[in-house]
Structure formats: C-alpha cells, structure tokens
Amino acid sequence: MAQSTAPNRQNGQNRSKKFSTTLPDVQTLSALTKEPFIDTHTHLHYTLERLPDTFGVKTFQILKEHYCPPNLEACVNVLCDPLSFSSDEIFPGTYMDWKVMAETPFMYLAAGVHPHNAKDYNEYIEAQMCKILQHPKTVALGEIGLDYHYDNSPKDVQRQVLIRQIEKAKELQKPLVIHTREAEEDTWDILTKHVPKDWKIHVHCFTDSPDFAKKLLDYFPNLYIGITGVVTYGSAKNTQEIVRSVAPLNRILLETDAPYMTPAKLNRNKRTNEKITVSHSGMIPFVAQKIAEITRKEIDVIMRAARENTRNMYGI
C-alpha cells in the first residue's frame, strides 16, 4: 500500500464520488500479451471505492469482466488497515466486506497491519486479523513492515509490531508480505534475526537501494522482489536498476498496488480530464512491458517467469 488508507468512513462507498478518473479499454490492456497472469499485491476494494458511480462497478466480478483483460487469472487482495479486519461486521455484504472478497472466485487474500497503523495494534485487532488468516483463501500475512518516510506510527512501535506479526506468521505457517521504505538497516536487522532463512517472503513495491535488494536476495533464497507501476516512472532509478542488474527473473513478482501506481504510459500526452488516476489488476501487462524493455527480453518471457514465481511464492 502506497500510503495510509485508514479513513473515517460512514460506509464502504462514501468516497467514490470525490474522484474523477477514466479507465483504459480492455483492448488496450489485452494488446500487449496473451500470457495468463496474477496480480500479486492489490487493494481492489479501494479501487472500487475510488471509481465514480458512472462506471457502474459494484462488484469485483464486474470490474474483472468489464475492465480487465481475459488473461487476468487471479489477484492477491491485501487487507492492511485494521478496519478491514472487522469489515464483515461494519460493511456486511458490500465489496468492503472481507468475506465477500474471499467468496470472489478470482480473489485471494493477505492480511496484516501496515506500519502506518502500527500504533493501533492490540490483542483485539490481532484476533480479528487471525480470523482472516485462518480462511483457506488467505495466502499470506501482510503487508507488514517499516515505513520511515512517513511518521504515522512511532518507529519503535513499528519495530515491535513487525516482530510480533512475524512471530504470528511463523505460528500460522504463513508467507510474509513486507513493506519497507527508508528503513533498510532496521528491516534487515529484524528479518535476519526473526525470519527463518528459507521462509517465503514477498518484499512488496520495492523502491529502496539496489544494494539492499541484493543483500535480501542473497540471504533469503525464497525471497521475491515485487515490482509495481513505479518501474515505469522516470524517477524510479532504484527500481529500474534492480530490474536491470540485481533481481533475476526467477525472483520477481508483478503487482499493481492498486488503486495506486498507475503505469506512466497510460497517461502519456493526456489532458487532465482524461487522466487515469485509479489502477486495477488488469494493468499488470504494462508493468511487465517496462521490465521487458529494461531487460531487453520479450514481454511473454517476463509474464511466464512471474507466473511461475507466483506459484512458488503463493501456491496459486
């Protein structure tokens, strides 16, 4: 998740009218590749929340059928706001309800308290989180970690909550989804001290240094680097260098982090009223296209490698 999304909501749909956006047509998304793919990290409940009512997208299935290419197989929808853990009670029967997400055929779940929300962590929230983690469609604990770019939770609290959730993941035998931003030393220290070397780890939306990526990849043989639409941005030199010379293809996962990180190419030369400001899982091919460009490989090679890596990481 790119930023804090712990809002004050009266219901699960009260923010959608505040956003103005358009979406690419399915033909545009389908033109790049026919290879099947999985979005390994997304927040599609926030995508639906941000889409204006004029799109008529009231369910995840409608979003997939009307706005995503047919080769989208599945996604891992990430619940990292503690409010989401009780969404079956707060927003029952809506797209904000985690049980509705779990019942969506193409959707798998991950659940964990984001570092922005670490200050809110308590035994009740942990119990609610574990309820979701015990569901058969929940494939990982996360995203959890450290974020020193923002100051939404004290650093010492972030560290304590990260360690506590790592211990819970080991107890429940769940892979980890890690968020780390401008916290390389502390992230390294905690992971190497508390996570077994052979544990499955997805370092989501990696934007830190190439040297840090190499350290992680060398130490943890089952660690994968998540690449989002950030790789398409001119400013994303770290991420592009990681793709170019640090992370081999068999250690990369494709993700959108929707509704954030819209691939840059989709908005090139567009006027303000034509901008795509909300992303979704169907935009993965544009992430793969940029990786293909950087590595000088065919896009289908990137897609197939990422699909196999997803099987290895999540078993889907």
- The string of DSSP codes covering 91-106 is STTSTT-HHHHHHSTT
Q: How far apart, in Å, are the Cα atoms of 103 and each of 136, 138, 249?
A: 11, 11, 32
- Residue 274's pLDDT band (cuts 50, 70, 90): confident
Percentage of residues of the chain with pLDDT beyond 70 = 94
Quote the DSSP letter at residue 15.
T
Q: State the pLDDT confidence band at 222, using cuts at 50, 70 and 90.
A: very high
Per-residue pLDDT at 18: 56
Instruction: Please give the backbone phi and psi of residue 275, each rounded to the nearest 5 degrees, phi first.
Output: -70, 140
pLDDT exceeds cutoff 70 at 10: no
At residue 273, the pLDDT reads 73
Task: State the pLDDT at residue 19.
Answer: 60
- Give the mean pLDDT of 156-179: 98
* Residues with Cβ within 8 Å of residue 210, at least 6 apart in sequence: 238, 241, 242, 245, 246
Q: What is the pLDDT of residue 272?
A: 73
**Do 231 and 290 meet the contact criterion of CB atoms below 8 Å apart?**
yes
Q: Are 295 and 244 in contact (CB under 8 A)?
A: yes
pTM of this prediction?
A: 0.93
Mean pLDDT on 246-263:
97
Residue 185 has pLDDT above 90, yes or no: yes
Work out the angle between the directed axes of helices 155-172 and 184-194 (0-180°, nearest 10). Answer: 30
- Is 162 buried (19+), middle (13-18) or exposed (0-12) by CB count in 10 A? buried
Nearest to 208 by CA among 189, 228, 180: 180
The arithmetic mean of pLDDT across residues 289-309, rounded, is 98
In the predicted model, what is the mean pLDDT of the chain?
93
Report the alpha-carbon distance of residue 133 to residue 130 in Å, rounded: 5
Longest dimension (CA), the chain: 51
217 pLDDT higher than 70: yes
- In whole angstroms, give the CA distance from residue 66 to residue 70: 10
So what's the pLDDT on residue 21?
Answer: 85
Three-state secondary-structure class, residue 238: helix
Q: How far apart are CA 47 and CA 51, in angstroms?
A: 6
Dihedral (CA of 44, 49, 50, 52) sign: positive
Supply 101's token pair: 């997400």
Phi (first) and psi of residue 133, to 5 degrees: -65, -25
**pLDDT reading at 1 higher than 90:** no
**Superfamily holding 24-314:** Metal-dependent hydrolases (3.20.20.140)
Give how far Cα 63 sits from Cα of 26, 41, 98, 139, Å. 11, 16, 17, 22
Decide if pLDDT at 235 tops 60: yes
| CA neighbor of 54 nearest in space, from 84, 83, 17, 100 | 17
Q: Which neighbouring-strand residues pair with 147?
A: 181
Flag whether pLDDT at 233 surpasses 80: yes
Hey, is 135 helix, strand or coil?
A: coil
